[in-house]
Structure 1
Amino acid sequence: MRTSPLSRQTVRTRVTLDGPETYEAILDPTDRWHGWVSPRFSLDTARQLAADTAAQAEQHGHDSVDTIHVIEGGTDRDGRPRAVVLHIRWLYHDEGPEVSVTAIAPDEDGLYSIGGWDWTWSIATRECACGEQLDHHVTPCPNCGRHRDDFALAA
């Protein structure tokens, strides 16, 4: 029997590709590839990644930006949305779809592993009111004890 990824040491946090955009994700902070984390995303977050990567490809060109695409297909028998998430590596387009296209199925928790072990995802950080730099999910602050939500509203 396979263990659910949510039963491992996972956290709900926000991740970034070192840009201004951050995305809600679930990840195991110890599951790393060359130091980078391997996040899993909800379908709603996959839709946001699709919109953002399409805009980046339009701005910077498809040869320099991988894109995510969400193709919707109604609902399944249980009323859950059906979707296929595709990761397109435009730089490798000429090498054929077996190299340039990956279909990402949801895991048993309904989450999509987009860019894990491939992209340079890092955990988004925030600054506590006391000046301590913290990973987004770390709360309370080990320095002053304030909870993330306490000072996020005050900022």
Structure 2
Amino acid sequence: MKPWIKRSLIGLFGAGIVLGGIGACSHRYDHHRAGGEYESKYTQKMIERVSSELELDAAQRERLVQLGERLREQRLALVGSTTEPRAELQALVSGPTFDRARAQAILEEKTGAVQAKAPAVLDATAAFFDALRPEQQQKLRDHLQKRHRWFGHG
């Protein structure tokens, strides 16, 4: 095979891999825009999946729902009143120097949100885990040991 054909094929193959990788990474199902109806559908799907995997009874399922609500509250507190987080972060570097004061304010806001909501999340997590039967707890441990998320992503 002539060298120029070989180089062309390698170049096309490499470009195909790069473009395929970019395309795969860019298709994210709009998770960054998740909210409202999508969020509630995702939450219900997660609760159904965990409930079936661990064979939860009604009381355990209710604790799982409460845990989901606490996690949602914490996520909303972390987001805060920011409607455009990317623009807020870009504003930190838009001037001639890094806006340390604003960055510190953002950090304190997010840290405060975690500190305010974390006890409720921990309590809900403990209540859910403690309500599980030993075989359910072991199944959960095994699942976490695999470093594998629910729904097979990873």
Do the structures match in fold with TM over 0.5? no
Higher share of residues assigned strand: 1
Larger radius of gyration: 2
What TM-score, normalized to structure 1?
A: 0.24
Higher share of residues assigned helix: 2
Q: Which structure exhibits the higher relative contact order, with contacts defined as CA atoms closer than 8 Å and separated by 6 or more residues?
A: 2
What TM-score, normalized to structure 2?
A: 0.24
